[in-house]
Structures are given as C-alpha cells and as structure tokens.
Amino acid sequence: MAAKAVRQPLSRERVLAAAVALADAEGVKALTMRRLAADLGVEAMSLYHHLPAKEALLDGVVETVVAEIGAAAVGGNATNGGDEDWRTRLRRQFLAARQIMLRHPWMPGLLGSRRTIPVGLYAYYDGIVGTLLGAGFSHRLAHRAMHALGSLPLGFAQEIFSPSSAGGSMEDDVAEADLAAMAEALPHLTAMVATEIHDVTDPTLGWCDGQTEFEFTLDLILGGLERLRA
C-alpha cells in the first residue's frame, strides 16, 4: 500500500522526539517502551535497534531538552551583541531556560535521576562561567556563583508547593472547619496567605506567581554576587 511506502524508518532522533512529546503529554510515568513504540506505529522491541536500553532513552531525552536550552542561550547571545551587562545576559538566559522547563515539567526529576550528566550541560555551564570570568569574577567566586545559582540556570521550577495545580487550588477541597483548624496549627502561613492573596493578579498557579518569584530569586542572587565581585 501507499501508506507503507510513505513510512520513513525510525531513527534515534525520531524516537527521542516522540519520547519528549509523550512525556510532555502524559508524564514520564507513561513513557514506557511499549507505549512509545505504539505512538510510533511500531513494536516495543524495534526501539532497541536505535537505543540500547531504557536508561539510554531517558538519557537521550534529557540530552534533547538540555540541547534545547543550550540552543536558546546561544541564539539569544547572537541576537543581542556582546554589549550586554553580565547580569542582563545571565538573566535573559535563565529566563529563557525557564520557559523551556515550563514545557517539560518532568525534567527536574528526570535529570536528578540520571547517573551521568549530559555533555551538552557542561558546554552550557562553560558558557555561563565564561560570562562570569569576562565580567571580572575570580575563578573562586565564579565557582561559588555556580553553586549559589544552583538550578536556576536550568530554569528550575522546583517549587515544592506548586504541584497543587493538579488537584485544584488549596481552598477548594478544604472544608471550612478544617480551615479554622489549619489557621490554628499554621498561624503564620495562613496569615501570610490571607494578606498576600488580596493583590494577586494571576490566579493560575494559586496565589504564587511563579514568574515573579523566579525573577525575585534570580535578582537577589545576582545582586549579591555583584556586590561580592566589587
């Protein structure tokens, strides 16, 4: 049939792209060999002609996303010339990384579970260190800066409290009586929520605006580093 002739052979890239798409759509839990093969119109064992094992598949998936982040960084560097302040430059890179990570919420957990670090990540961090050194950072301070920034270069929405998005906002499933009990057990948190919830403009993520908080943290750390640099 014509349909069969149209079908192009699999490749590592096609498999990895499908894996990322599947993880985006249904989470890493749904990313199983059989399911991925089904999405590709193929049997599970066929995947093993392009990838040696499932661990390699997962490695390839994080490698793909890391490449996406790295490409966004160098792309942004190209459009803006070399006339950027180091803080502006890193800020822009990390915010771009955040946009990508928001599309792949499973990425932090997956990256944490890998035994080896994708090579593209070294290159990406090398660029960041280069920016710091170019701005006059000592090796010592640049090193510390990397640790202090932690996962911000990857746009981590670590956000322990944000996964509440899955089950509706907090007050939806809490009865009024329980809320009173909570106010007693957690006086400071409830007071903070009460005063903060008034002037929230973006209720999509409950009462926390992830973008604003990310930028606050970023500027706090970048500001502290700038002070140490001088």
Partner DNA sequence: ACCACCAACCTTACGACGTAAGGCAACCAT
Partner DNA sequence: ATGGTTGCCTTACGTCGTAAGGTTGGTGGT
List of residues contacting DNA (CB under 7 A): 9-10, 32-35, 37, 41-46, 48-50, 53-55
Closer residue to DNA, CB minimum distance, 46 or 164: 46
Instruction: State which of positions 183-202 bind its own copies (CB under 8 A).
Output: 185-189, 191-192, 195-196
Residue number, 48 or 207, with CB nearest to DNA: 48
SS3 23: helix
Q: State the SS3 of 106-152.
A: CHHHHHHHCCCCCHHHHHHHHHHHHHHHHCCCCHHHHHHHHHHHCCH
Residue 65 found at the interface with its own copies (CB under 8 A): no
Asked if 22 and 31 count as a contact pair (C-beta separation under 8 A), the reply is: yes
How buried is 65 (Cβ within 10 angstroms: 0-12 exposed, 13-18 middle, 19+ buried)?
A: buried
109 binds, among its own copies, DNA, none (CB under 5 to 8 A by kind): its own copies
- Specify the residue, 17 or 210, whose C-beta has the smaller distance to its own copies: 210
Burial label for 216, CB within 10 Å (0-12, 13-18, 19+), is exposed
* CB 116, min distance to DNA, A: 15
HSE-CB of 97 using CA atoms within 13 angstroms: 28
CB of 169 to DNA, least distance (A): 27
Six-digit token pair at 63?
A: 């490698």
Applying CB under 8 A, the site for its own copies has a residue count of 55
The type of residue at 103 is: R
Q: Which two tokens stand for residue 211?
A: 């973008």
Residues of this chain, 162-181, that bind its own copies according to CB under 8 A:
163-164, 166-167
Please tell me the distance from the alpha carbon of residue 226 to that of residue 74, in angstroms, as a whole number.
23
Residues 119-148 touching its own copies, rule: CB under 8 A, are 121-123, 125-127, 129-130, 133, 139-140, 142-144, 147-148
Q: Summarize as ranges the residues that interact with its own copies (CB under 8 A).
A: 108-109, 111-117, 121-123, 125-127, 129-130, 133, 139-140, 142-144, 147-148, 150-151, 154, 158, 160-161, 163-164, 166-167, 185-189, 191-192, 195-196, 208, 213-214, 216-217, 220-221, 223-225, 228
